[in-house]
Amino acid sequence: MVFTRWTHKTEKEKMIEMILKNEDIQRYKRIEKVINNNKQLKAKVNQLKAVQKQLINAKQIEKTQAIIEFEKRYNELLNEIESYPLMSDYMALQGDINEMLQQVQMIIEEGIEKDFKW
């Protein structure tokens, strides 16, 4: 008796594969590798993330002066980062990909809601 393995993919697996094969995702991954290999740029991105967290915290506790200072520092770092080659593409792709993933999430949520409505 010979057993064959099912190659049938679930809808989830098909969707993941479709997303991972997306041209924007592939380009994003390639640029991300370049960025991760640039220690100076990576350090600036990490600084930007830290300032972003501080800015969010300052907004939550309504520290007006801190908000102004963190926004200024955030914009300075962002400008420095965007001056690197490929960074404007990377950030634009990041926005596009986030939007696509939000749309996928919305489609899934709407499908689930329909399934539960009789």
Closest by CA position to 94, among listed 107, 112, 108, 81: 81
Contact 105, 16 (CB under 8 A): no
Residue 103 domain flag: yes
Percent share of the chain, pLDDT over 70: 92
Distance between CA atoms of 22 and 31, rounded to whole angstroms?
14
Higher pLDDT, 5 or 45: 45
Residue 118: pLDDT band by 50, 70, 90 thresholds?
A: low
Query: What CATH code is carried by the domain that includes residue 42?
Result: 1.20.1500.10
Q: What is the pLDDT of residues 72-116, one digit of tens each?
A: 999 999 999 988 888 888 989 999 999 999 998 888 888 878 777
Helix (H, G, I), strand (E, B) or coil at 27: helix
Q: What does the mean pLDDT of the chain come to?
A: 87
- What pTM value is reported for the model? 0.63
Give residue 58's domain range.
23-109
